[in-house]
Amino acid sequence: MEEWVDAFLLHLQNKNFSALTVKSYRADLAEFLAFCKQRGINNTGQFTSALIRTFLAALQTQHQPARNTILRKIASLRSFAAYLLEQGELMRNPFKLLPAPKRQKILPKFLTLQETEQLLNTAAHTKMSARDRALFELMYSSGLRRSEVIGLKVQDVDFFNGIVKVFGKGSKERLVPVTDTALAAIKDYLACRPSPQPQDALFLNKRGNPLTGDGLAYIFRNTTIAAHLVRKVTPHSMRHSFATHLLNNGCDLRSLQEMLGHKSLAATQVYTHVSVEKLKSVYRHAHPKCKE
């Protein structure tokens, strides 16, 4: 079964799945293979509904993971099963009669406008202030995913039209608007670098190498601490903040969907929640008794 897992992961890479998606599938399937190995299971013919049920039960007993984590592992195994069916390694789909738990609805965690300004101001006063200011301003300006930010090249920023060319999930290209503030910060950062070339990575680490996902997470962690923010802030928090603030200020869902690079509108609708302060503001202006 291990050889088929390797073939499946290679298949995903050839289909242009994102590196983060492949990494998640690899981790989930490695956990499943370890479970099978402990029980002397080593061939695809033993990949049955009963085995999947036993695996999921063991997960919940040992680790008690969140429901959405279980769903992600199910999705990994379901995709692997679909691949084996296509290759003729399975005669029947082990997920056909296997009910999946419903996804837990979790509202995105976003920063207030004040917290966002606090973070942006702090980023402008770090040891690598030119880079960090450009990085944070761009992420808040355009709501990019972590993988999209670290994948940017110098040539992807169109200063004349005020847009950035992004390669999202499945290597799908989209154009996203950028604020003048973010463009100015990027110009200042590039001016500090020795002859940046169009094909060079837009953001570099302190050693001059392309910034990695872990490096970006490290920058966010340190900047959050320096900003004295109590809550945990991640690159995705900035994306959530971008989406929430746009909606709170009148942006329509379709436009937001395009900017975020969501395949379906349903994925964007999670951002239709609004902050308590926004609700209070609408309430005060709309309720007759509040106008007396």
Residue 107 has pLDDT above 70, yes or no: no
Burial degree of 173 (CB within 10 A; 0-12, 13-18, 19+) = exposed
* Average pLDDT of the chain to the nearest whole number: 86
Is residue 24 within 8 A of residue 72, CB to CB? The reply is: yes
CATH number at residue 55: 1.10.150.130
Q: What is the pLDDT of residue 96?
A: 81
CATH number, position 134: 1.10.443.10
Same domain, 23 and 147: no
User: 175 with 266, same domain?
Assistant: yes
Range(s) of the domain holding residue 70: 2-86
Q: For residue 12, give the 3-state DSSP assignment.
A: helix
Regarding whether 241 and 142 lie in a shared domain, the answer is yes
**Do 58 and 124 belong together in one domain?**
no
Q: Yes or no: say if 134 and 185 are a contact pair by the CB < 8 Å rule.
A: yes
Q: At 279, is the pLDDT very low, low, confident or very high (cuts 50, 70, 90)? A: low
Statement: residue 277 has pLDDT above 90: no
Nearest residue to 6 via CA among 68, 83, 78: 83
pTM, entire model: 0.66
- pLDDT given at position 253: 85
Domain identity same for 82 and 119: no
Q: Which residues are catalytic?
A: 145, 169, 236, 239, 262, 271
Q: In this structure, is residue 191 part of a structural domain? A: yes
Report the 10 Å Cβ neighbour count for 106: 10
Query: Who has greater pLDDT, 105 or 227?
Result: 227
Q: How many domains does the chain have?
A: 2
How many Å apart are CA 76 and CA 26, to the nearest integer? 9
Q: Give the residue-averaged pLDDT of 187-216.
A: 94
Answer whether residue 291 is part of any domain: no
